[in-house]
Structure 1
Amino acid sequence: MVDRTLVSLLNEAGVEINGDNPWDIRVHDERFGSRVMRELNLGLGESYMDGWWDCERLDELFHRLLTSGIEKKIRGSPRYLLRLLPAVLFNLQSRARSRLIAKRHYDLGNDLFLSFLGATVQYSCAYFEGTDDLDEAQRNKLRMICEKLGLCAGEHLLDIGCGFGGLARFAAAEYGCEVTAVNISREQMRHARDICAGLPVRVLDQDYRAIEGRFDKIASVGMFEHVGRRNYRTFMRVAHRCLSPGGVFLLHTIGGNVTCFNCDPWIAKHIFPVGMLPSAALVGKAAEGLFVIEDWHNIGPHYDKTLMAWNRNFQAAWPGFAERYGERFRRMWEYYLLSCAGAFRARRIQAWQVVMTKDGVGRPQPACRPAFAGRDEPVRWN
């Protein structure tokens, strides 16, 4: 029998145990309830990985759970609070620990990521304005970043993080820029160097804190989530030091609605070790006195669609990976993609593009929301 308290909390969210709705939980192991009440978020995710329960629409389950306020009712639990202590007491994203995320996540294998990210190999939020196609939406995002930066031929772009090299390749090929891209993931760098061969792109194995030089424009896409609150100011100082006085800096990051010390315990253990989502307050504080915030664009609803597209691709490609990774990995990855889609749908997390210029130089405001080409009719965004 499932714990009565858990049943009551789920019912408040419109979720039933063994109900008929696609977002209801079908329990296969009677230990499910006690494990969830004992281990909370971690127990919910790990019991799914172990096959103790199923749900036809995980994305809708999490949408309902997160909009019901259930999370606030368990945040006071001593077990929940104890999980935050390491992030409160220590700098989990120190330089000595910085490569942990690369080894545990990004270096799983390029063929896995290539199987679901699409042709642009963008592991960040797409922009589905005027399209339902993932590849076109990712090209929209890349062009939007370049236009917000005001990239011009001959300029030198610094790409902090760089992922699989898609932005570096796009900026060099489409805008005629020279690009210096830094990363610490061996597999991502290998792919970035391959796709940027023959273009004026350097891909460096380098921690962001070690970057030297001066650049006309700077972009960082999907990397700030791994910096950590103790290092946000350091990150901004590096960007400030490296940006030319008349330059533009674009920060693209997932963010949280409230300031916190750590990620969800299940995400931190199984997907992004030492990850941490910044709040708007922390981003603003880190940039204070260094940058003028010219524009703050929330494209979070587009991440819901991005994650759903990734999951469809992942499921279609899975037969080719089943023997290598196993069923528990499939359930873990499915849970990751769909729970995050539900969180974006519930508006609990956001995706921000923040455009900044150097404070104190009097630079005219850049055109932060220009039309961008690539269609018969230019697209404008609000």
Structure 2
Amino acid sequence: MNNENTRGIVTRLLSAAGITVNGNNPWDIHVYNEDFYARVLHNGSLGLGESYMEGYWDCRQLDDFFYKILRSNLDKSVRKSLRLKLEILMARVFNFQKPARATRNGQQHYDAGNDLFQHMLDKRLVYTCAFWDGAATLDEAQEHKLDLSCRKLQLKPGMHVLDIGCGWGSFAKYAAENYGVTVTGITISKEQVSLGQQLCAGLPVTIRLQDYRQLNEKFDAIVSLGMFEHVGPHNYHEYMKVAARCLKDNGLFLLHTIGGNEQHAFTDQWLNKYIFPGAVIPTIRQIGQALEGIFVMEHWENFSVNYDKTLMAWYDNVAANWDKLKNRYDQTFFRMWKYYLLSCAASFRARHSQLWQIVLSKAGIPGGYHFAANQESGNLTLATGTFKP
């Protein structure tokens, strides 16, 4: 198929989503290399992302471009390539999140460089969705989310909390300072352990380099913020069993995860290759099947639109701080990272992606589950000051 034919097909597809090639709207794309059309037609989302990284095309408002594509379901109009079909089949048959591979997958993203994340995230280095109700800044929104999580867990002084996928210790530090608890956090990123231990120095916080499958000790409460996406369907049931064996009988488990409307073998093909290798977004059914017979679902909340705003704030931070990062990261990396953040923001804006917080108990709470919140304004009643024993 020649360039003229591929150009015509891709142009018609984009036009169906309200996008004009070389148009004047902020969401229109400008094509600088005619090979762009064949790349997209033959390789789908992978070709779209790689051609953007290589400068084949550009767009003033990349998030709006993706929003229009997703809201029009254009991504479903393009037939899956044979290669993609084979990759999907392999993902369904093989466990791509076994311990050794899970470690390699995690390190590819989370060991990219602490400096990148320090310039991108809030002051606490929270790399999960913020909670923006009543918040004017990213720092405030992330503190709202951390406090919301603590309240949902009903933390009390003296408790010992397990944080599965603790990142740089943001939740652990906040919970120790504001709720008087001891926290043990685990991660498979060496970079996160190193910096997290520094940030939590002097607090009753331990951060360990450890896979969740190695856990076998008891805790009063368990939290997992943004880690379940890396577990994989083959391991969902085992993950729940590990959490149950580590949770005391009267404890609560807060699972915070991105969720999908439809079941897929892995994330978007481009994201799987360049950003989150081996990641899989779970569905309600998959989570329900995994916890069946192990946990009771006490509370399920969706605040996915908050992730759109969070990702946009992260991108603004990266763009504002690029002069401090460009000596270590090249322009191709910047375009890759921009594509990642803005395409994901659009996915949440288009409601293709969700963000769930799920509270689980082992046997059901007598009298039902409740957590402290200001019901009139919808805002959290935040913890007042730092915990003092």
Give me the TM-score of the superposition, normalised by structure 2: 0.94
In the alignment, structure 1 segments of 5+ residues that lack a partner are 377-382
Distance 1:176 1:144 in 2: 16
1:48 aligns with 2:48: no
Partner residue of 1:205?
A: 209
Within 5 Å, give how 1:1-382 maps onto structure 2. Answer: 1=4, 3-359=7-363, 363-368=366-371, 370-371=373-374, 372-374=380-382
Check 1:147–1:362 CA distance in 2 against 1; reply closer, same or farther (3 A cut): closer
366-375 vs 297-306, which moves further: 366-375
Report how many aligned residue pairs link the two structures.
375
Distance 1:20 1:40 in 2: 24
Distance 2:129 2:259 in 1: 12
Cα distance, 1:76 vs. partner? 4.6
Cα distance, 1:272 vs. partner? 0.6
Q: 1:172-195: per-residue Cα shift (whole Å, max 9, x none)?
A: 110000111111100111111111
Distance 2:345 2:79 in 1: 21
Cα distance, 1:332 vs. partner? 0.2
Distance 1:35 1:94 in 2: 32
Give me the TM-score of the superposition, normalised by structure 1: 0.95
Structure 2 SS opposite 1:3: helix
Distance 1:114 1:364 in 2: 43
Q: 1:144-200: per-residue Cα shift (whole Å, max 9, x none)?
A: 000000000001100001011000000111000011111110011111111111111
Identical aligned residues as a percent? 47
Structure 2 SS opposite 1:283: helix
Distance 1:369 1:67 in 2: 36
The answer to whether the 8 A contact 1:17-1:25 is kept is: yes
Cα distance, 1:78 vs. partner? 3.4
1-10 vs 313-322, which moves further: 1-10
- Alignment-mate amino acid for residue 198 of structure 2: D
Distance 2:349 2:266 in 1: 21
Distance 2:118 2:159 in 1: 30
Distance 1:195 1:202 in 2: 11
Cα distance, 1:73 vs. partner? 1.5
Structure 2 SS opposite 1:354: strand
The answer to whether the 8 A contact 2:43-2:81 is kept is: no
